[in-house]
Each structure stands twice: as structure tokens, then as C-alpha cells.
Amino acid sequence: MTTALQPFGFDTDSFEAFLAQRAEPDWLLSMRRQSWDTYSKLAWPTRDHEEWIRTDIRTFRIENFRPPIQAPPASVAPPGLLTREVELAGACVSINSHSTSHWLAPQLASKGVLFGSLPELLADNADRLRPHLERQIVLPGYDKFAALTSAFWIGGQLLFVPRGVRVELPLHSLAALTADGVDLQKTLVILEEGAEATMLSETASLSVDVEAGNVVGSAPAESRGLHAGITEIVQGAGSRLRYVNLQNWGTGVWHFAHQKARLERDAGLQWTLAALGGKTAKVNQQVELAGKRSECQVNGVMFTEGRQHFSYHTLQHHQAPETRSDFLYKSALQDKSRTVWRGMIKVDPAAQKTDGYQRNDNLLLSDTSRADSIPGLEIEADDVRCTHGSTSGNVEEELIFYACSRGLTRREAVRLIVTGFFQQVLDRITIPSVRDALVNAIAQRVREYR
């Protein structure tokens, strides 16, 4: 069920053909046109840009991909890794940007909760959602990929929780790609004042039976694909959100993502991010602490192998007094893979009594892997506590010997050590199924360390 390729690519003609197929309000079409104008004027990032100096995308060719204009046939996707033995309040699935299924518990819908396909929900709630879409906390002008998604987003997920509503059970979204598939999605999470929710979001590369229109398993590891996505999280005063994002594409997928959250007064966000798949991943993750006493905890887990290249840039932007942020990223690397983590704590002059922390630890499982870690501080207030740290090192042979002397094979010993390395992050995850899924997914990838 590979999405049919159209006889055009990402150019002005294909964009106009795309708009002609959209049954959208004029204000949204106008926003798309402005974003396309920005895209047309911007150059592709090069290593002359500070954010891209360690990430080489010279082999990326946008002309190798086509907009997924045509929706795939109806298909049943496999259950996600994060949902085993988990009772859900709702779920949605998309393949190659297009929604294939979604549902929400009736008792939540009766309270005004919206969850599912963003384009479909927008069609029925345009006036209600317009202010949130027009806000655009991820600006199209950030780079060419942001502009591309802002202009061309075809699918996406929406979670909207009204004032004071508490969603007890998790909600789950799965975005899948087939071979040569393209995923252009915008995810919008909106919690009004006092609302609470948990959202589990994951990606996967799938192999399908074209004639039957059914998923037959995971796609070959080298299957090519493109993801260019935007995630926007907007939390009202006193709201609480747990957001888990598992990136598990095949290792032939280009992954470009802009992820940003904005927190108002007394809002709290726990954001867990795990990155396992993709050929090259370039992710910008930002949290704006815009309201007094807002706080966030961001947990990152990365495991790379082969020649994978992951570049993650994080920003903790303290804009109001008495705000708190805690970013902890850990990565394990084997073979000839590479990670780049560049973190920044920015404190505005008005953000007195800020408490900001960031840490990045890297475990090198081969002599040919490489981890670049660049923490940073930009502080314009004088009554703050901001700290950062970074470590990188190999697996100690003494630890492997000790574990092997207790009856473990060398590979089992390395798996145990890697799991222990990630334990600090895993302990922060309060959903047992998510914790177990990440442990199992990482353990399956670990090879012997020599």
C-alpha cells in the first residue's frame, strides 16, 4: 500500500494542486500560502549554519520524494509498542500522513474533549481551533523544513482538553510510513486551564500487502522515507500533561522535526522522548516557560547503530519568574553512529528565581562511534540557579568481566550495563508499559561490545 506517487514534487505547481484539493477555510489557505512563500525564499540548511555545522544533509534530495496527496487504502496498523497492556481513552492511526482510524471514549467527547485526525476535526471545529492554529508557536521562518511542513502539512493529530477536564487514561497516536512514504504532519496539543491528560505518540515503518491493503509487518530496515513534522503543545494555567514520543522509523528515513511547548502560569509538563530509528534525525525541541511557577521535566533516550546520525537541539526558555526546568538526555551509541546534543538554558531578565538544569550523558559502545555534547547557558537575570553537565565514556571492561563471572554471556552483560545506564531516565517514566517497551526495544538492538 505504498502511497501512489504523483507526477509532481514539492514545487509551486504541486503546491497549487495541493491547495485545490483542500476543503479548508480561507484563513488557513492564506497561512499556507505565506508559509510556501517563506519556503520558496529560504535555502536548504548547510554546515555553514551554526545549528547544522555537525549535521551533513548534502545527500538529502527533496526531489526524491512526492507529496502524499492520495490517501492510502483502508488498512489495519499493528498495535504500538507503547500500548501493550494499557487501557486507552482513545487512539488514532495514520499511514503516509493520512488518517486511517481514530476513536475517543464517548464520556470524554461529551465533556468537549477532541482527539483524532487534525484535518477531520478542523473541518467540524474551524472557529474553535482557528486561534490555536494561527498562533504558530513554531514559526515557518525557522528553517526550510519548518516552512515546508507549515505549508504542506497533510495529516496530523489533535488533542484538545477543555478547562478543568481531567483525562484519566492515556490517549495514543501512531504515525506510520510505508516504503518511500512521506509523513507531513502537524500535531497540536491544547490543554486549557486546569486540564490534565496523558498522550502517547509513536512512529513506525511498515510493510504492507498492496492488493489486500493490510499491514504484514515492519518495513525492511533500509526502507526509504521522509518525515517533516511540527509538534505544538500549548498549556493553560494550572494544566498538567504527560507526553511520550517514541521515534521508531526504519533506518532509511530522513527525520526532521520541530517540537515546541508553551506553558502558562503553574502549568506542568513531563515530556519523554525516545529516538531509535531514522537515517538522519534533526530535531529542535523547545519549551517556553511563559507563566509564573510553570515547570517542565524533559527526559530523552537515544540509541544509535550502524551509521545513524541524530542531532537534537534543546532550548529551555525561562520567560517568567519562579519557573523550573529539568532536561536529562542519555544516549548509547554503537558501530559508526553519531549523536549531537546541543542544549541551551535561556533566562530572560524578568525570569528571576529561575531553577534550570540540563544534563547529557553518552555511552560509547564502539571505538568508531562519536557523541558531541554542547551544553550552554544564556542568563540575563541575577537571581537564578542554572546548572548543566555532560559525560561521555566507553563501557568498562571490568564491569563486563564482573557480570560474565556471574554466568552472563558477554552480550547479556552489555545489555545489562546499557539498561543500567538508562535507568536514571527510565525511573522518571511513571507508566510501566512505556518503561518496559523502551527497555525491550533498546535491549534488542544491543550487540557485543569489543
Q: Give the integer Cα–Cα distance in Å for 62 and 56.
A: 15
Domain ranges of the chain: 12-291
Task: Read off the pLDDT of each residue in 224-228 and give the average, rounded to a whole number.
Answer: 94
Q: Quickly state the pLDDT bin for 399 (edges 50, 70, 90).
A: confident
Q: Give the integer Cα–Cα distance in Å for 14 and 34.
A: 16
Three-class SS state of 28: helix
Question: What is the model's pLDDT at position 208?
Answer: 61
pLDDT per residue as tens digits for the range 317-368: 999 999 999 999 999 999 999 999 999 999 999 999 999 999 999 999 999 9
Q: Which of 5-14, 179-188, 191-200, 403-412 has the lowest mean pLDDT?
A: 5-14
Q: Quickly state the pLDDT bin for 5 (edges 50, 70, 90).
A: very low
Question: What is the model's pLDDT at position 354?
Answer: 97
Q: Give the integer Cα–Cα distance in Å for 341 and 311.
A: 6
pTM of the model: 0.94
Report the chain's mean pLDDT, rounded to a whole number.
Answer: 91
Cell numbers representing residue 442 in the block? 533498546
Question: What is the model's pLDDT at position 78?
Answer: 67
Residue 358's nearest CA partner among 326, 323, 313 is 326
End-to-end CA distance of the chain: 41
Q: Quickly state the pLDDT bin for 433 (edges 50, 70, 90).
A: confident
Residues 6+ apart with CB under 8 A from 425: 272, 299, 300, 301, 328, 330
Q: Which of 225-234, 295-304, 437-446 has the lowest mean pLDDT?
A: 437-446
Rg for the chain, CA atoms, rounded:
21
Has residue 210 got a pLDDT over 80? no
Residue 377's nearest CA partner among 367, 392, 387, 362 is 387
Question: What is the model's pLDDT at position 306?
Answer: 94
- Number of Cβ atoms within 10 Å of the Cβ of 413: 22
Has residue 215 got a pLDDT over 60? no
Contact between 263 and 190 under an 8 Å Cβ cutoff? The reply is no
Contact between 345 and 356 under an 8 Å Cβ cutoff? The reply is yes
Q: Quick one: DSSP state of residue 304?
A: E
pLDDT per residue as tens digits for the range 99-145: 988 999 999 999 999 999 999 999 999 999 999 999 999 999 999 99
Question: What is the model's pLDDT at position 255?
Answer: 97
Q: Give the integer Cα–Cα distance in Å for 197 and 380.
A: 34
Cell numbers representing residue 235 in the block? 498549556
Strands (E), 184-267: 186-191, 196-209, 214-218, 224-235, 240-247, 252-263
pLDDT per residue as tens digits for the range 20-41: 888 899 999 999 999 999 999 9
Residues above pLDDT 90, as percent of the chain: 73
Task: Read off the pLDDT of each residue in 185-212 and give the average, rounded to a whole number.
Answer: 87
User: What are the helix and strand counts (H, E) for the chain?
Assistant: 9, 21
Has residue 146 got a pLDDT over 90? yes
Let me know how long the chain is.
450
**CA distances in angstroms from 374 to 54, 116, 274, 311, 324, listed in the order given:** 11, 37, 19, 11, 21
Residue 175's nearest CA partner among 200, 152, 203, 149 is 203
Q: Quickly state the pLDDT bin for 7 (edges 50, 70, 90).
A: very low
Question: What is the model's pLDDT at position 222?
Answer: 65
pLDDT per residue as tens digits for the range 293-307: 999 999 999 999 999
Q: Which of 63-77, 247-261, 425-439 has the lowest mean pLDDT?
A: 63-77
Run of H or E residues at 286: strand 280-289
Q: Quick one: DSSP state of residue 185?
A: B
Question: What is the model's pLDDT at position 76?
Answer: 64
Q: Give the integer Cα–Cα distance in Å for 49 and 26.
A: 35
Q: Give the integer Cα–Cα distance in Å for 421 and 70.
A: 44
Contact between 414 and 395 under an 8 Å Cβ cutoff? The reply is yes
